[in-house]
């Protein structure tokens, strides 16, 4: 494939590493971590941050469609396109060699039909280089999970707050409807997902789901009892003034970057940079 084969024409597709094969962590290996030491997962959208994550020992990376909020300047994830997801997934894949890369299926890429969902999932694997895909929805999207899993692509589900449609009605409040959450989680598991994101789910319900499900639960804003935890990298690194209340800021990179840039600008204005 050449770069001209890509829809936007400018993204270099994922190229498998040459030389001795570097084996990436498989979905099966991740699934076996169920019930063990909690598994850290983080989002990444580009080469430097994917490298930082892998070097930090994080070997499960999500190219989330939160790309829309934290990188592309949208208020929601809803406008994110397949082409944008492919572009950023390929960047993350090129930057890593061992981590298992999960690519989010953006809004509109899987809802219309099984056929379209499978075609788009295949693109994220072939052109983006991801090893798994993630899609939002419980009972009502279980059929899509099944269709994608059936062609051999590992699938991660996502229930609780589902940001692609939260702004269209259901909102972002904590999800506390135990029976509905359990029904959704079981439907996604039964359809063949190997893991499921629980976003802003009541912590006790998240604990119960983690105990009842055979697949890994990945918590975000859902308390400490999940098998894995995920955070948006910009939130945990403190890249914006405000982070969601559940996201501990492990650094203040935004402030450090602004200070460094102010120092640089002042140095240029004082003719102190560059030195002769
Ligand atoms: O898009 C994303 O980053 C996500 C996580 C918040 C789970 O879906």
CA 68 – CA 72 distance, rounded (Å)? 5
Identify which of 46, 53, 60, 62 to mutate to test ligand 1's pocket (most ligand atoms within 8 A of the CB): 62
Question: What pLDDT was estimated at residue 3?
Answer: 38
Identify which of 66, 141, 167 to mutate to test ligand 1's pocket (most ligand atoms within 8 A of the CB): 66
8 pLDDT more than 60: no
CA of 49 relative to ligand 1 center, distance in Å = 16
Question: What pLDDT was estimated at residue 171?
Answer: 92
Question: What pLDDT was estimated at residue 23?
Answer: 85
Identify which of 64, 167, 229 to mutate to test ligand 1's pocket (most ligand atoms within 8 A of the CB): 64
For 147, counting Cβ atoms within 10 Å of its Cβ (0-12 exposed, 13-18 middle, 19+ buried), the class is: buried
Atom of ligand 1 nearest to the CA of 199: 7
268 pLDDT more than 60: yes
Using one digit for the tens of pLDDT, what is the confidence trace for 79-129?
999 999 999 999 999 999 999 999 999 999 999 999 999 999 999 999 999
Question: What pLDDT was estimated at residue 132?
Answer: 98
CA of 163 relative to ligand 1 center, distance in Å = 8
Could you write out the DSSP letters of every residue in 173-237?
SPB--HHHHHHHHHHHHHTT-SEEEEESB-HHHHHHHHHH-SSEEEEESS-S-SSEEEE-HHHHT
The dotted CATH code for 3-269 is: 3.20.20.60
Using one digit for the tens of pLDDT, what is the confidence trace for 210-259?
999 999 999 999 999 999 999 999 999 999 999 999 999 999 999 999 99
Contact 60, 40 (CB under 8 A): yes
**Whose alpha carbon is nearest atom 5 of ligand 1?**
64
CA 64 – CA 243 distance, rounded (Å)? 16
Question: What pLDDT was estimated at residue 233?
Answer: 98
Question: What pLDDT was estimated at residue 89?
Answer: 98
Using one digit for the tens of pLDDT, what is the confidence trace for 12-48?
566 655 555 568 999 999 999 999 999 999 999 999 9
Ligand 1 environment, Cβ below 6 A: 43, 62, 64-66, 104, 197, 199, 220, 230, 232
CA of 79 relative to ligand 1 center, distance in Å = 15
Question: What pLDDT was estimated at residue 13?
Answer: 63
Question: What pLDDT was estimated at residue 9?
Answer: 46
Using one digit for the tens of pLDDT, what is the confidence trace for 128-161?
999 999 999 999 999 999 999 999 999 999 999 9
CA of 190 relative to ligand 1 center, distance in Å = 22
Query: What number is the average pLDDT over the span 49-54?
Result: 98
7 pLDDT more than 50: no
Question: What pLDDT was estimated at residue 12?
Answer: 57
The two tokens of residue 52 are 């930082």
Residues belonging to the active site: 199
**Whose alpha carbon is nearest atom 2 of ligand 1?**
64
């Amino acid at each position: 494939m050449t770069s001209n084969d890509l829809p936007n024409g400018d993204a270099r597709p994922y190229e498998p590493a040459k030389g001795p094969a570097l084996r990436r962590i498989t979905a099966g290996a991740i699934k076996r971590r169920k019930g063990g030491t909690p598994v850290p997962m983080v989002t990444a959208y580009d080469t430097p941050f994917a490298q930082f994550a892998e070097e930090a020992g994080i070997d499960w990376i999500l190219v989330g469609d939160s790309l829309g909020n934290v990188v592309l300047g949208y208020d929601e994830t809803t406008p994110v396109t397949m082409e944008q997801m492919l572009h950023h997934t390929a960047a993350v894949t090129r930057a890593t060699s061992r981590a298992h890369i999960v690519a989010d299926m953006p809004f509109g890429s899987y809802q219309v039909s099984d056929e379209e969902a499978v075609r788009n999932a295949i693109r994220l694997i072939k052109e983006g280089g991801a090893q798994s895909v993630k899609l939002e929805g419980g009972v009502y999207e279980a059929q899509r999970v099944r269709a994608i899993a059936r062609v051999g692509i590992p699938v991660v589900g996502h229930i609780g707050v589902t940001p692609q449609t939260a702004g269209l009605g259901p909102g972002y409040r904590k999800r506390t409807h135990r029976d509905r959450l359990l029904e959704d989680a079981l439907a996604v598991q039964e359809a063949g997902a190997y893991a499921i994101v629980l976003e802003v789910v009541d912590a006790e319900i998240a604990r119960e789901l983690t105990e009842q499900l055979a697949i890994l639960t990945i918590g975000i804003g859902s308390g400490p009892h999940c098998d894995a935890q995920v955070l948006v990298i910009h939130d945990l690194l403190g890249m914006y003034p405000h982070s969601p209340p559940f996201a501990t800021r492990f650094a203040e990179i935004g402030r450090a970057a602004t200070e460094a840039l102010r120092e640089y600008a002042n140095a240029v204005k004082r003719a102190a940079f560059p030195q002769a």
